[in-house]
Structure formats: structure tokens, C-alpha cells
A and B are shown apart, each in its own frame.
Chain A
Amino acid sequence: MPPLLTRRSSRARRRQADDHRRSAPRPRRAPRPTGQPPIVEVRDATVVYPGGHVAIERLTTSIGRGEFAFVVGPTGCGKSTLIKLLIREIEPAAGTIWIAGKDINAMPHDRTPYLRRRIGTVFQDFKLLPNRTVYDNVAYALQVIGEPRSQIRRKAPEILRLVGLQAKIHSYPDELSGGEQQRVAIARAFVNHPPLLLADEPTGNLDPETSIGIMQLLYRINRTGTTVLVVTHDRDMVDKMRRRVIALEEGRLVRDEDASGYHDESTKEFAARMRAEMGVGPEGGTNGHSDFEH
């Protein structure tokens, strides 16, 4: 990411983006599609980092509600930039991004936190608050939206049970394994039941067995109706998932194909098939961290 850009440079970037928009001949806002809009719609998005590097170039794609999709590509192809674009951590130099039918770059900046509350995000480095327990990390996401304490006391343990961490509720992040930390991150991202969950290399730091557990968890979340978009460079894993794959290369869309036929499998079937295809030893059960950590 562009770490801690100075205020001036961010303003300059915004100005640059404005200029770009003004000079573009096409209409600024394309007509919104009728009916239920897709959860994510990106049209002609271009991202230029300060210094002139073009991270994403005229990308157009859309992701429907309830989809489980992958974004793949080599390092530096613009995958992570896409995630940042969707949570409005960066602004496109050109193009439009709709989330659930709303042009996110047209809304005022003080509304951005409210956009982020409707999108769960999971990262390769977990991004947990190091000085809070597992419970407090999850509770923070609820405190942010002003949830009353009674609701937090009910929801936080419930979601931690779902990810199989009920036994580690009072541990601190540095007392957990990588897989467990990622489960906490997923629990925090999903505790508000957002309609969209973005995962940036969620298995990047994890071994294959743990990775399957995380994928299985994401799949279970997807089965509740949440759209899940996973960014990864693990082509091998993606091929075996048999889900929609959006491939990027040097900021351009090079492939977008949907492998149908596996959409209705249960979480259990999914895990079993993944293990078989990835050559990881079979194991019983689908719940609880003990399946994956030992």
C-alpha cells in the first residue's frame, strides 16, 4: 500500500483524479443497471499511484450477490489494489465503482467508515489489535457501530463459536497460531453479517492444511448469502476450488471464467473434495480448530 502518504500528496492525487475525470470524454456516471444491482460493479477503473505507476488499467467487472469469486494473478498485478479500491482506501484516477448500487467515490469522505462497516475485510497479516483479547478484537467491530453491550455479549461469543475459537476467547493474538489468528480476523469481519466479505491473501501465511480450513470457513460464510471475494496468488488452490476466477495481469483483466457444477456442495463435501484434490490427508469433522491445528 502507499504507506502514510502525506496530506499534500493525497490531495494532489485527488486533484489529479479530478483532472482525469474532467478530461475523459465519456459520461461520468453510466446508467445504473435495473433490478437488484450487483454487489460489486467496477467500470473502466484506472488506478495510478503517486509516482506514475499504473496499478489497475481500465478494469471492468461485476460480482453478483451471493457469489464466491477469486481474483488471481502474479505479484504486482493489481490484486491488492482492487481490494483497496473497493473499501475506498484509494480513489481511482478514472472509472466508477459501485458497491450495492452506490457510487462509493461520489459519496462524501465522512461516509467512508459507514461503507466499511458493510464490507468485511480479511488480510494476509490478520491485522488484529495486538493489545486486545480475541473477544475484544471481535467486540471492537461491534462497538464501532454503536452496538449495545448486551448485544455484544451475545454476538461475539456466538461468532467465535462459529469459527471454532470458543476455547481461546480470552487469549491475546500473539498467543494464537496463524490459522487461529486468521479465524479471529474472519470472525471480526463477519460479526456484523456484512453483505460483502473481501479477503486479501487470507491463506498467504498458512500451510495447506490450515488453508483448507480457512477456505472452508469462507465457504461456510458464503453459504449464508454473503458475497465472498478472495484475492490470492495461489493458482493451484484456486483451480481446485472450482469457483469463478478473475485473472489480472499488470492491472488488466486477462481471464474471467466461471466453473459451474460445484455451487451446491455442502461445506463438508467441499472440504473433503479440497483435501482429496490437494493431496492433504483426510480428516473427520468440519468444526473446531482442532481439525486443522494438530
Chain B
Amino acid sequence: MGRIVFFCSEAFRALRRSAAPSVAAIVTIVVTTLLLGVLVPVLRASESKASEVRDQIGLEVFLYRDATKAETDALQKELNGIPHVTEARFCSPECAKKQLAGELEGDLAGSISELNSNPLPPSFDLALDDPDNLESVRAALLPPNSSGKPTPISRAIDPPIGQDRENATKIREVTGAVKIVLLVIAALLLVASLLLVANTIRLSIYARRREVEVMRLVGATNWFIRWPFMIEGVVVGLAGAAIAVGILLLGKVTIVDPLADDFALVDNLSTMGFVPLVAMLVAAAVCVSALGSGITLRRFLRV
């Protein structure tokens, strides 16, 4: 017990006595925590948006209007058997009409109801496990016949299939690139902030290496020397994280929340809750700071 008090008082003495390096370490942690606190939700939101767009890519198979019920049932079974197809949903002409009515806006919206007959064909909407498998599913639907010409697997299918595949490919490529770029940015940021914090801590300990040398000379064990530095690291990490979280909270209340009220867009993005975000940031700041101190000391503690 007396030891713990002693270690804590040593840590606070060091913080008081070397105020400049301590403040530098705290400021570094505030800046990097803030950076992560803003960018992690933004990156997560962009990532989820990109995934959403990708997931909408599917394949529509149009049928002849005179396809019989038996033919469509048989075809549905066959479609479900194709690898990478997660769902084959039948859409009757009525369903297609309703869908179209839902997509149209303004003047055109009413025009659907003015139609005398329904010109839309029935279709199957195929959902895929991954948009990258679009081509292989398309190939499975159109196997080449004996003369090498692609032929639909069922008489009911009205070729061609997947006419808009150029668009699909573009979306696939763009969202894929966006995901990779976001991942790279996140990784770079994480590495940069870790290095920045580690370097600041290194500097503040390096400034006191003579002190560590003297402690070793009078017979202090490694943990006796290390504990005050670790406690100091925890205090610095906590202080930095607390300030950063305060600023983040201020930003959330004054900027993000009013925006979320006005625009559904900001609110709708599937990002992360404030509490888990704060918990993650505080834990990261404290761990990096305390472990940084402990590990940096190692090189001065060799006996």
C-alpha cells in the first residue's frame, strides 16, 4: 500500500517537475485522439455507404409474357441452384408495375395509373452474395449451346440478360476503390498517431535517462523504476483523452446534432454510437501512453 502511494507521488512529482514534456505529450494525445475521434465515424459512415451501394447490385432476368406457371416454378428452382445466388425473387407484371410507380416521381407518377393494360414483363430479381460474382452467374444463365452461341437455360427467359452490366461494373470498381482508399487512410492515420505519441513519450523519457541511470546505481529494481513512469503515462493518456473527448462532445452538440435534425442523411448513416467511440478512444490513449512509457524505458533498464 505504502508502495502504491510512493509510486503515485513519484509519478506526480515527475509530472510537476517536467511540466513542458508532460504538456507536449498531453497535447499530442489530444490532437491524435481528436483526429481519430472525427475520422473513425466518418470513415465508418463512408464505408457503410459504399457497401450499401454495392449490395444493391443484382441481376434482373426478364421472362416472356407468355411463360407458364410451371415454367417459372421450374426456373426459380434452377436459379436458386446457381452458385453465388442468395435469393431469386419472382416479380409478376403487377409487382413490376407497382415497383415502377414507386420509382417515378412528379408528373410521371400519375401516368402509370392511366395505362389501360400492363406492358411490363414478369421477371426474376437475383440477389448475389458478392457483386464480383456477377459475371459467373450471368455465364451460368447463358451456357453456350452445341454451336457455341449463348443460350438461356430456360425457354421462358427473354434474352439478353444483364444488359446494364457496364454500369454494374463501374459501381463495383468505384466502391471497391473507395473501400480500399478508406482502409489505407485509416491504417496510415493509426500508424502516424501511434508513432507521434510514442515519439513524444520517448523524448520525455530520454530527457530523464540520467535519472534512470542513477536509480539503477542505488539498486532500484526495474519495476521500482518503471511503475512511476507507467502511472505517469496513464495520467497523461487520461488527461489527453479527457480533453479530446470534451472537444468531441462540444462538436457533437453544436455541429453534428443540429445537422442531424435538419438532414435525415446525417442521421441515417450507419456510424458508431458516441459512447463506444469515446470508450475506444480513452482506452487507446491510455494504453498507448502507458505501454509507450514502459517499452521506451526498457532500453534504459538493461542491467
Which residues of chain A have a CB within 8 Å of any CB of chain B? 4-7, 10, 87-88, 109-110, 112-117, 121, 127-131, 140-141, 143-146, 148-149, 188
Asked whether A131 lies within 8 Å of B218 as measured between CB atoms, the reply is: no
Asked whether B218 lies within 8 Å of A144 as measured between CB atoms, the reply is: yes
Other-chain residue from A7, A10, A117, A128 in contact with B219 (beta carbon distance below 8 A)? A117
Residues of A within 8 A of B215 (CB): 129, 140, 144
Chain B contact-residue range equals 20 to 34
Asked whether B2 lies within 8 Å of A140 as measured between CB atoms, the reply is: no
Q: For the complex, what is the distance from the CA of A88 to the CA of B219, rounded to whole Å?
A: 11
Q: For the complex, what is the distance from the CA of A224 to the CA of B239, rounded to whole Å?
A: 51
Query: Can you identify 12 A-B contacts, CB atoms within 8 angstroms?
Result: A87-B217, A110-B222, A113-B219, A113-B220, A127-B213, A129-B214, A130-B211, A131-B14, A140-B215, A143-B6, A144-B215, A144-B219
Q: For the complex, what is the distance from the CA of A258 to the CA of B215, rounded to whole Å?
A: 35
Q: For the complex, what is the distance from the CA of A145 to the CA of B211, rounded to whole Å?
A: 17
- In this assembly, does B77 line the interface, its C-beta being within 8 Å of a C-beta of chain A? no
The residue among A87, A128, A131 with the most chain B CB atoms within 10 A of its own CB is A131
Residues of A within 8 A of B84 (CB): none
Identity of the chain A residue whose Cβ is nearest the Cβ of B218 in the assembled complex: A141
- In this assembly, does B300 line the interface, its C-beta being within 8 Å of a C-beta of chain A? yes
Which residues of chain B have a CB within 8 Å of any CB of chain A? 2-3, 6, 13-14, 17-18, 209-211, 213-222, 224, 298-300, 302-303
Q: For the complex, what is the distance from the CA of A145 to the CA of B220, rounded to whole Å?
A: 8
A105 CB → nearest B CB, Å: 12
Residues of A within 8 A of B303 (CB): 88, 109-110, 112-113
Asked whether A121 lies within 8 Å of B217 as measured between CB atoms, the reply is: yes
Asked whether B218 lies within 8 Å of A116 as measured between CB atoms, the reply is: yes
Asked whether B218 lies within 8 Å of A4 as measured between CB atoms, the reply is: no
B58 CB → nearest A CB, Å: 57
Other-chain residue from B3, B18, B214 in contact with A128 (beta carbon distance below 8 A)? B214
Asked whether B219 lies within 8 Å of A127 as measured between CB atoms, the reply is: no
Known: A4-B299, A4-B300. A113 touches B214 (CB 8 A): no
Residues of B within 8 A of A116 (CB): 216-219
The residue among B14, B213, B219, B303 with the most chain A CB atoms within 10 A of its own CB is B219
Residues of A within 8 A of B217 (CB): 87, 116, 121, 127
Asked whether B2 lies within 8 Å of A127 as measured between CB atoms, the reply is: no
B136 CB → nearest A CB, Å: 52
B213 CB → nearest A CB, Å: 7
Identity of the chain B residue whose Cβ is nearest the Cβ of A144 in the assembled complex: B220
Residues of B within 8 A of A115 (CB): 219
Q: For the complex, what is the distance from the CA of A140 to the CA of B220, rounded to whole Å?
A: 9
Q: For the complex, what is the distance from the CA of A130 to the CA of B217, rounded to whole Å?
A: 15
A194 CB → nearest B CB, Å: 9
Identity of the chain A residue whose Cβ is nearest the Cβ of B211 in the assembled complex: A129
Known: A109-B303, A144-B220. A149 touches B2 (CB 8 A): yes
> 4 nearest interchain CB pairs?
A117-B219, A116-B219, A131-B17, A144-B220
Identity of the chain B residue whose Cβ is nearest the Cβ of A138 in the assembled complex: B218
Residues of A within 8 A of B300 (CB): 4
Known: A7-B299, A127-B214. A145 touches B219 (CB 8 A): yes
Identity of the chain A residue whose Cβ is nearest the Cβ of B298 in the assembled complex: A7
B209 CB → nearest A CB, Å: 7
A188 CB → nearest B CB, Å: 7
Q: For the complex, what is the distance from the CA of A127 to the CA of B213, rounded to whole Å?
A: 9
Residues of A within 8 A of B210 (CB): 127, 130
Identity of the chain B residue whose Cβ is nearest the Cβ of A143 in the assembled complex: B6
B210 CB → nearest A CB, Å: 8
Identity of the chain B residue whose Cβ is nearest the Cβ of A120 in the assembled complex: B218
Identity of the chain B residue whose Cβ is nearest the Cβ of A188 in the assembled complex: B218
A142 CB → nearest B CB, Å: 9
B82 CB → nearest A CB, Å: 58
Asked whether A7 lies within 8 Å of B214 as measured between CB atoms, the reply is: no
Asked whether B302 lies within 8 Å of A10 as measured between CB atoms, the reply is: yes
B169 CB → nearest A CB, Å: 52
**20 further interface pairs, Cβ-Cβ under 8 Å (given A87-B217, A188-B218):** A4-B209, A4-B299, A7-B298, A7-B299, A113-B220, A113-B303, A115-B219, A116-B217, A121-B217, A127-B210, A129-B214, A130-B210, A131-B14, A131-B18, A131-B211, A141-B218, A144-B219, A144-B220, A148-B2, A149-B2
Residues of B within 8 A of A112 (CB): 303
Residues of A within 8 A of B222 (CB): 110, 113
B208 CB → nearest A CB, Å: 9
Known: A4-B299, A116-B216, A144-B215. A110 touches B221 (CB 8 A): yes
Q: For the complex, what is the distance from the CA of A165 to the CA of B17, rounded to whole Å?
A: 24
A170 CB → nearest B CB, Å: 15
Residues of A within 8 A of B214 (CB): 127-129
Q: For the complex, what is the distance from the CA of A6 to the CA of B299, rounded to whole Å?
A: 7
B12 CB → nearest A CB, Å: 12
Residues of A within 8 A of B209 (CB): 4
B231 CB → nearest A CB, Å: 15
Q: For the complex, what is the distance from the CA of A129 to the CA of B14, rounded to whole Å?
A: 12
Q: For the complex, what is the distance from the CA of A140 to the CA of B2, rounded to whole Å?
A: 14
Residues of A within 8 A of B17 (CB): 131
Residues of A within 8 A of B213 (CB): 127
Asked whether A117 lies within 8 Å of B218 as measured between CB atoms, the reply is: yes
B297 CB → nearest A CB, Å: 12
Residues of A within 8 A of B13 (CB): 131
